Structure 1
């Protein structure tokens, strides 16, 4: 790590020295890495640094390499930096504090509070029902906090699969009926009366858990932006349950989400109207993500009987 980056971190944390620890992960398509740094001489034993370095040649696991793809990723890191520097949540939708940030040429640096140190040190590859509810509670309080807030400095429409940012994947679709309806589905979702700020990539891997699984915090805000909160809910449920589980449990989890959301929104909000609208968007949000998957990776495991069923319901609605 460059000395100037080390100096920035030392100054931001009031530390006397630092040591580069383990790499937590490599960023998508080789755009850098996330590492843990151990500190001495301050009250923080460690920080997590997201170090972005734009590659000269990009590598995508599904071979989606293009200038458009690259510029979307560049913008996503700019958005994430802006988010961490300018937006703040509360303990019911915990995120890591941003301690410093720097953008210089083809590199970006975001210095974050180490969530492991403050009790969110568990990661999950599968979830029990109580942990699913904990994540849905996080989403509900996040959406409630930002209900009606304009996404200044963020993506105008959040989520990494938003139609306007994915024309290549749309063009690649073989499902011509869904392809033709993609614009209408997007307009329905974008036309919601009740809008909030969505996480945009609320998958299981982006949640950090407490020891008992009841407390959660979220990371990775590259695709945070405006929109209908139910899109986060749909994407999260898809990330931690297969089609059969969704058939059995999705609607009961949806009930739990709305119970939590009601406690999170301001009293003057017409919650009945909000809930009615967002419940109607549930199938539309699922069909919207299905559209992306069918263009991006048509063999993906998330394309299943349940997702196809909801997509069919939407297409039938649009036919009138």
Structure 2
């Protein structure tokens, strides 16, 4: 570990020394790593270091190595740093505290609270009702907390699949009807009346659970930005359920999300209008992500009958 990086951590945490522990994960396309640091002489027994190092040549799993892709990733880490330094949440939508963040040329460091120590030490690859509900509750509280808030310093339109940032994937699409409608779908989502800040990458892997699975915290805010809350909801549901589960369970899970939204929304918000609009946006948000997948990885497991069914519904609506 470079001396200046070590100094940043020690100073931020009031520690006397540190030990580099286990690597938690390598960042997408080889853009660095996330590691756990053990501290001595600090109130924090350990912290998590997100160490971004922009490679000379990226290794994208899907083969999308372009200047545009690189620029988007650089911006995503700048956005995440800005998020952690300038926005805060509450216990109902828990995120790790940011202890320090700094750029060093082509490297960026973000020092974060270790959520494992805070009691969120469980990760899930499959979920039961209580975990799904915990994540939907987190999203509902997050969306109400930032309802009407301008995404200053963040992505103007959040999510990593936003159409404007993905022209290469649109060009590669093999679905001419959806390709032609992509701009209209994007416009409908962007022009909704009730806007919030969306997490932008709210997949199951980005949630950390308490031991019982009833409490949850979220990480990874590279694509946080403005937009309709349904974008997070559809992406989360699609990340943890297969097509048969979606067909059977989505209506009830949406009801649960909106019940949590209603409980947490401020009194001056016209909740009936909000719910009506966002329920209408659900199919557009789902189809918007389906559009991205068709161009990015046509054989992806999420391209299923349920997604195709919703896409047909949207295309039919656009023709009316």
For Structure 1 versus Structure 2, the TM-score category normalised by the shorter chain is over 0.9
- Which residue is 1:135 aligned to? 135
TM-score, normalised to structure 2, is 1.00
Question: Partners of 1:42 and 1:185 in 2: how far apart?
Answer: 50
Could you list the structure 1 runs, at least 4 aligned residues long, displaced by more than 3 angstroms after superposition. none
- Which residue is 1:206 aligned to? 206
Question: Partners of 1:222 and 1:108 in 2: how far apart?
Answer: 13
- Which residue is 1:153 aligned to? 153
Q: CA deviation at 1:311?
A: 0.5
Aligned residue runs from structure 1 range 79-90, under 5 A: 79-90=79-90
- Which residue is 1:234 aligned to? 234
Q: CA deviation at 1:304?
A: 0.3
- Which residue is 2:256 aligned to? 256
- Which residue is 1:54 aligned to? 54
- Which residue is 1:318 aligned to? 318
Instruction: State whether structure 2 residue 179 is matched by structure 1 residue 168.
Output: no
TM-score, normalised to structure 1, is 1.00
SS in 1 for 2:42: coil
Between the two proteins, the alignment pairs up a number of residues equal to 320
1:277-312 per-residue CA deviation (whole Å, 9 max, x = no partner) reads: 000000000100000000000000000000000000
Question: Partners of 1:292 and 1:116 in 2: how far apart?
Answer: 33
Question: Partners of 1:155 and 1:186 in 2: how far apart?
Answer: 15
SS in 1 for 2:48: strand
Question: Partners of 2:43 and 2:224 in 1: how far apart?
Answer: 30
- Which residue is 2:3 aligned to? 3
Question: Partners of 1:148 and 1:93 in 2: how far apart?
Answer: 17
Q: CA deviation at 1:104?
A: 1.5
- Which residue is 1:33 aligned to? 33
Structure 2: runs of 5 or more not aligned: none
Question: Partners of 1:180 and 1:123 in 2: how far apart?
Answer: 39
Question: Partners of 1:53 and 1:60 in 2: how far apart?
Answer: 15
Q: CA deviation at 1:43?
A: 1.3
- Which residue is 1:292 aligned to? 292
Q: CA deviation at 1:265?
A: 1.1
Question: Partners of 2:5 and 2:255 in 1: how far apart?
Answer: 46
SS in 2 for 1:65: coil
- Which residue is 2:115 aligned to? 115
Question: Partners of 2:243 and 2:114 in 1: how far apart?
Answer: 34
- Which residue is 1:124 aligned to? 124
Please tell me the root mean square deviation across aligned C-alpha atoms, in Å.
0.4
Question: Partners of 1:247 and 1:130 in 2: how far apart?
Answer: 19
Question: Partners of 2:157 and 2:101 in 1: how far apart?
Answer: 24
Aligned residue runs from structure 1 range 189-228, under 5 A: 189-228=189-228
- Which residue is 2:187 aligned to? 187
